[in-house]
């Protein structure tokens, strides 16, 4: 599990820049020579939101919020990282790892780990796409530590947790700033400023996320394509959430996310609009896929995936996630897309 996200200061080495690179901030990155070991001066583990907000206010830009830290610590250890004076660990805040029902919503504390989320029955029932995403983040040791809050704050365009949450009408509780210790709820997509950059002010942090409970006619799913070589992020990831109107036999509402398809995580709005209100026929699925392919900006990222491959993976992933989401919404008759090989006899 290693990703750099911070731009380096004055790198002494000649930087290699491939013309193929789209997001050099996190892909062409590797010129910090030496591991820095004394990564910060002070480590705080506040036991209340007020205390945490006081600390990040006091240290200002010299403070960093840490949750699981599985990405942040590696980032801070690289020689060119901005060295914080204080690190504020939010994982001891009361309720920060909770997963609860509140009214018609599921609320997950920012400090809930992927390991906990992946097996939580509430998330499995109401946020299956997140559950499936969390279950494939890193390996078990990382999932036992890495949090959903850290995953979102990292703001990568194809992070598993982010993609899984994008289709769930997720809101993020931002603490600090004008919202104070109670915080304000914001739509998830407003969190992302660019590859590896979020829109939070230095005196803010994520306290929780929430998404609506899923009715019996609603289902979601997440999937991704990885390569076995030295790249930590998926070649392409996708999620879908679908409400199924049994009476009319049509899709009621659709949410689709495919990434990376740009510097920030995005939803496939044209495709969503098209499929909503339609029958889930093979023709309509093909059109949905075409709309995603036509309206997404796939780029080649060196050593990770070519533009062409990503384009080719759209039907593969969408067939999987839309099919599973529909089945979970109560419709099992979703067509499988035919391929050229379907005529072959099975051996």
Partner 1 sequence: MPRIEMTVNGVRYAREVPSHRSLADFLRRDLGLTGTKVACGEAECGACTVIVNGRSVDSCVYPVLKASGADVQTIEGVAGSYQDAQSSDELHPLQEAFAEYGATQCGFCTPGFVMQAKSLLDENANPNDGEIATALKDTLCRCTGYASIVGAVKAAAVKMRTGVLPPPELPHVVDPLAAVGRPLVRPDAVAKVTGSAIFADDLAFEGMLFGATLRSAHAHAKVLSIQTDAATAVPGVVTVLTHRDVPGNERHGLVEHDWPVFAGGVNPARYFGDPIALVVAESLETARNAIDLIDVKYDVLPAVTDPVEARKEYSPVLHPDRPTGNLLKHIAVRHGDVDDGFAKADVVVEQTYRTPRTEHAFMEPECSVAVPAGYDADHATLTIYVGSQIPYSDRSQVADSLAMAETDVRIRGTVMGGGFGGKEDIAAQIHAALAARATSRPVKILYDREESLRFHPKRHATQIRIKTGATREGRIVAVEAELYGDSGAYASLGEKVMTRATTHATGPYAVENAKIDCYAMYTNNAPCGAFRGFGVTQSAFAVESTMDLLAEKLGVDPVELRMKNAMRVGTVTATGQLLRESVGLVECLQKVTDDIRVWHEENAPNADSFWESHRVGGKRLGWGIAAGYKNTGLGGGAPDRAEAEVEVFADGRAAVRTSSAEMGQNLIGVLAACVAEELGLPFADVEVLVMDTDLTPDGGPTTASRQTFVSGNAARYAARDIAGRVREAVATRAGGDASCIVLRDGSVARGSDVLMSFAEAVTLLEEAGEPTRVRHVYEAPKTQPLGTGGDMHFAFSFAVHAALVSVDVETGEVAVEKVVAAHDVGRAVNPLSLTGQLEGGIVMGLGNALTEHYIEHDGIPWTRRLGQYKMPNITMMPEITNHIVEHPVTEGPYGAKGVGEISSIPISPAIASGVFNAVGVRCLALPLDQDALLLAMRAGSSVLESRWGDR
Binding site for partner 1 (CB under 8 A): 1-2, 12-14, 16, 18, 20, 30, 33-43, 45, 66, 69-70, 73-74, 77, 79, 87, 89, 91, 115, 138-142, 144-145, 225, 227-232, 235, 302-303, 305-306, 308-309, 312-313, 316, 339, 341, 344-347
- Select 228 or 332, whichever has its Cβ closest to partner 1: 228
Nearest residue (CB) to partner 1, 3 versus 255: 3
Residue 115 or 127 having the CB closest to partner 1 = 115
Q: How far is the CB of 150 from partner 1 (least distance, A)?
A: 12
Burial of 78 by CB count in 10 Å (0-12 exposed, 13-18 middle, 19+ buried)? buried
- Residue at token pair 């780029």: 299
Cα–Cα distance, 317 to 240 (Å, whole number): 10
Residue 94 vs 277, nearer CB to partner 1: 94
Which one, 135 or 199, has the nearer CB to partner 1? 135
Q: How far is the CB of 149 from partner 1 (least distance, A)?
A: 15
Nearer to partner 1, 54 or 303 (CB): 303
Q: How far is the CB of 216 from partner 1 (least distance, A)?
A: 30
CB of 133 to partner 1, least distance (A): 16
Whole-number minimum distance, CB 130 to partner 1, in Å?
19
- What is the closest distance, in whole angstroms, from the C-beta atom of residue 190 to partner 1 in the complex? 30
CB of 248 or CB of 339, closer to partner 1: 339
For CA atoms 301, 322, 256, 210, the dihedral sign is: negative
Integer Cα distance of 20 and 23 in angstroms = 9
The encoded tokens of residue 293 equal 């392919």
Q: Rounded to the nearest whole angstrom, what is the least distance from the CB of residue 164 to partner 1 in the complex?
A: 19
């Amino acid at each position: 599990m290693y990703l750099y996200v911070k731009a380096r200061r004055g790198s002494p080495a000649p930087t290699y820049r491939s013309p193929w690179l789209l997001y050099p901030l996190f892909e062409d990155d590797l010129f910090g020579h030496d591991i820095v070991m004394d990564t910060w001066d002070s480590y705080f583990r506040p036991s209340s939101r007020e205390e945490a907000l006081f600390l990040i206010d006091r240290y200002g830009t010299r403070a960093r919020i840490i949750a699981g830290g599985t990405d942040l610590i590696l980032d801070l250890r690289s020689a060119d990282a901005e060295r914080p004076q204080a690190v504020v660990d939010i994982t001891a805040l009361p309720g920060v790892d909770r997963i609860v029902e509140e009214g018609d919503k599921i609320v997950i504390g920012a400090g809930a780990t992927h390991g906990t989320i992946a097996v939580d029955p509430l998330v499995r029932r109401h946020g299956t796409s997140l559950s499936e995403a969390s279950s494939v983040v890193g390996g078990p040791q990382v999932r036992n530590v890495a949090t959903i809050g850290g995953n979102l704050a990292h703001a990568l365009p194809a992070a598993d947790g982010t993609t899984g949450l994008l289709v769930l009408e997720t809101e993020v509780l931002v603490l600090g700033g004008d919202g104070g210790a109670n915080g304000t709820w914001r739509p998830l997509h407003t969190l992302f400023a660019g590859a590896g950059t979020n829109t939070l002010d230095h005196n803010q942090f994520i306290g929780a996320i929430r998404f609506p409970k899923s009715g019996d006619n609603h289902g979601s799913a997440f999937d991704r394509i990885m390569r076995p070589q030295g790249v930590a992020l998926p070649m392409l990831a996708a999620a879908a959430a679908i409400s199924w109107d049994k009476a009319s036999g049509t899709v009621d509402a659709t949410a689709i996310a495919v990434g990376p398809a740009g510097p920030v995580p995005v939803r496939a709005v044209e495709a969503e609009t098209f499929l909503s209100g339609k029958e889930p026929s093979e023709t309509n699925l093909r059109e949905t896929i075409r709309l995603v392919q036509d309206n997404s900006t796939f780029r080649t990222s060196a050593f990770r995936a070519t533009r062409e491959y990503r384009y080719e993976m759209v039907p593969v992933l969408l067939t999987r996630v839309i099919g599973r989401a529909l089945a979970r919404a109560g419709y099992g008759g979703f067509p499988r897309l035919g391929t050229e090989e379907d005529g072959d006899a099975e051996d």
